[in-house]
Structure 1
Amino acid sequence: MPSFAKKTDSKSEIEQVRMADTFESGSAGEVLESLKQEARGRAKAILQNELPEFIRHISDLLKQAEDDEASPLWKGHLESGAFKEKNVHLTAPPRVAQDGQDHFSSNGIQQQQEGSDACTCASNCNKSPGLKESSIPLGRCWQHSPPSNAVCNRLMDLLQGEGQKGLALALVLQRWLRLEVPTIEDAFVLTAGGNFGVGVQSQAMAHIKQFWSTTNNIRRYGEDNYYPSRAKLETTWCEYPNIENFAAAIATLDRNFAAGARIELETLISQSLYMLNVLQNNWAKVHDPKNKGDNEKANVLY
C-alpha cells in the first residue's frame, strides 16, 4: 500500500518568513517618525502664523477692492468696459496677402471665392474698434473674434495664485493630522469608553478637507467653466455674427464670473475661520486624543 506519511526533507527544513518583526528593523519607523516631526513643525507654523495671515490677506484684498479701481475685484468694473453689452464687438486684425495687397475689392467688400463661406465683411472693420451695423458679416466670420476681458484675466490670475497658497496649507494640515491618529486598538478603546478624542480628530479632519476643497475650487474656478463657456460663445458668434444676443451673453458671463469670484473668496474666509476656530477650541483632543492632558476640557467638543 502507498504510504501517506509526510515526507521529510533530508537536506533542510524550508525557512519560514516571519512577519511579526517587519517593523523591528529597517528604515520604516525612522522615516515615519522623521516625517511626523516635520509635519508637526509645519502644522504649528501654519496654525500659529501662516493661516491667520492668509485669512487676513484675503480679507484685505476684498476690503481694498471697495475703493481701488486698479483691483480686479473692484465692483465698479461690472458697470463699465467689456462688462457692458454695448462694448462687446467682433474685431478683426488686418489681413494682407503674401503679395502685399489687401483682400478687398474696389467696392470695399472682401473678395470671396465662389462656394466659400468665408467672411464678407466691409473693409472698415479693420480700422474701427468693432463691427458696426453697416459692416456686419454676411457669412461665417472666422477672421474675427471678440477680445478677451482683461479684468477677468487678471482676476483669474489672482484666484489661481491665492487658491494655490491655500491648497498648500491644507495639504500640510491633512498630512499632519493623519499622522497624529492613534492606533486602531486605542481608538476603539477611547471611543467605546466614552472618551471621543478620535471622534474630535475625525471632525477636525473633515473641516480641513472642506478647507482643501474650497481652496481647490478657487484654484480651478473659471478654468473649468468660465473660459470654456466663453470660448464656445465666441466660436458660435463667429459662425453666426449677425445674431446680436451673443454680445449680451458674453457680457453677462463676464459679470457672473467677476461677481462669483468675490463670493468664492468670501466663502474661503468663512471656511478658514470656521476650521481655525474648531481646531483652537478643541485643541486638547485634536493633538492629544488619548487625553493625557486636561481631562475636563478634553472631553468637550466646542
Structure 2
Amino acid sequence: MAQTEAAKKAKEFHETLKVDAENRIVQKFPERIIHLNELLKMPEFRIAATDIKCKLEIPTIIKVENNVNNCEGKTQGKRPRLDSNSHDTIPGQMLIPANKKIVEVIKILKPNIKQLAEDTNALKMWVSLLIPKIEDGNNFGVSVQEDTLAEIQQVEVEATNYLEQMSRYYASRGKLISKVCKYPYIEDYRCAVEELDERQYLSMSLTMHEIRNRYSTLHDIVIKNFDKIKKPRSSNTDSLY
C-alpha cells in the first residue's frame, strides 16, 4: 500500500536524521569549537574601538547658480532647481560606502551563525524523535530529554536573532547616513554613525564568542547525558514517535 511505503520512507528519513545529528554532536561540534577559536584570533576580531570608525566623506552641500540674475542676494521663496547651470558638491549618484571593517567581520560571522542555526535544528529533530510515547506513571528520564531540547531550542532562537541584528544594523546605518546627507552640517548625525559602528563591532565580537560558547555548552550537555537522551527509560524502541 502507498501509505505503508510512505511510512517506511518516513522511518528511513528519521533514522538518517538521527545518524546525522549524532555525527554532528560527536564529531562536528568539537571541530567547530576549534575553528571558532582560530577565527577569534584573526585581526578582524582584535580591532580597537577607536579604529573601527569610518570617516564619512560627505561635505556640506553648496549650490552655486551660474545665472547672473541670481547674484543680487535676493531670497528665493522656492527651492533652487537643479539644472545644467547648477553645481552640487555631492554628485547625485555618489556611492557612500559602508564601513569596510564591519562588512568584513559580518562576512566571517554570518556563515557561522547560519551553521549554528542548522546544527541546532538538526539536534532539535534528533531529541524530538527520541522522545518515547507518553505513558502514565512511566516518564522517568524523559525530563532529561525535555531539558536538553529546551536548551537547544533557546540556542536556535538566539542564532536567528543574531542574523536579524545584522539586517537591523544595515537599515539603521542607512537611515543615519541619509540624515547626514540631508543635514551634513549637523555633527550629531555623524557622531551617531560612529557610535552605531562601534556598538555593532562590539556586539559582533561578543556574538562570535557566544557562538563558540554555545557549541561548547551544547556539546557538554549532550555528551554527559548521551545515554539518557537516547534511552530515557527501559522501553521498547518501537514506542518512539
TM range (shorter): 0.7 to 0.9
Secondary structure class of the residue paired with 1:241: coil
How far apart are 1:149 and its partner, in Å?
A: 0.5
Which residue number in structure 2 is paired with residue 267 of structure 1? 210
Counterpart CA distance in 1 for 2:154 and 2:128 is: 15
1:177–1:255 CA distance, 2 compared to 1 (3 A): same
Contact 1:43 1:173 in 2 (8 A): yes
Secondary structure class of the residue paired with 1:190: coil
Counterpart of 1:205, as a letter, is L
1:115–1:201 CA distance, 2 compared to 1 (3 A): same
1:83 is aligned, of 18, 37, 53, to 53
1:115 is aligned, of 78, 87, 108, to 78
Residue ranges of structure 2 left out of the alignment (5+ in a row):
69-75, 236-241
How far apart are 1:168 and its partner, in Å?
A: 1.3
How far apart are 1:229 and its partner, in Å?
A: 0.8
Secondary structure class of the residue paired with 2:221: helix
How far apart are 1:286 and its partner, in Å?
A: 0.4
Which residue number in structure 1 is paired with residue 129 of structure 2? 179
- The size of the alignment, in residue pairs, is 222
Which residue number in structure 2 is paired with residue 238 of structure 1? 181
Contact 2:33 2:216 in 1 (8 A): yes
- Looking at CA atoms only, which structure, 1 or 2, has the larger radius of gyration? 1
Counterpart of 2:47, as a letter, is K
Contact 1:145 1:238 in 2 (8 A): no
1:121-153 alpha-carbon deviations (Å, 9 max, x no partner): x97946xxxxxxxxxxxxxx9666743101111
Counterpart of 1:75, as a letter, is I
Which residue number in structure 1 is paired with residue 72 of structure 2? none
Counterpart CA distance in 2 for 1:236 and 1:257 is: 19
Which residue number in structure 1 is paired with residue 8 of structure 2? 30
Counterpart CA distance in 2 for 1:157 and 1:227 is: 13
The answer to whether the aligner puts 1:53 opposite 2:31 as a matched pair is yes
Counterpart CA distance in 2 for 1:263 and 1:118 is: 49
Counterpart of 1:216, as a letter, is T
1:149 is aligned, of 99, 103, 111, to 99
Contact 1:177 1:205 in 2 (8 A): yes
Counterpart CA distance in 1 for 2:220 and 2:177 is: 45
Contact 1:83 1:255 in 2 (8 A): yes
How far apart are 1:263 and its partner, in Å?
A: 0.8
Secondary structure class of the residue paired with 2:166: coil
Counterpart CA distance in 2 for 1:156 and 1:41 is: 32
What is the aligned-residue identity percentage?
Answer: 20
TM-score w.r.t. structure 1 length? 0.65
Counterpart CA distance in 2 for 1:213 and 1:234 is: 30
Contact 2:148 2:221 in 1 (8 A): yes
Which residue number in structure 2 is paired with residue 217 of structure 1? 161
Counterpart CA distance in 1 for 2:162 and 2:46 is: 18
2:18 is aligned, of 3, 18, 40, to 40
Counterpart of 1:88, as a letter, is L
1:203 is aligned, of 122, 142, 147, to 147
How far apart are 1:180 and its partner, in Å?
A: 1.0
How far apart are 1:91 and its partner, in Å?
A: 5.9
Q: By percentage of residues, which structure has more helix?
A: 2
Which residue number in structure 2 is paired with residue 74 of structure 1? 46
Which residue number in structure 2 is paired with residue 277 of structure 1? 220
How far apart are 1:74 and its partner, in Å?
A: 2.6
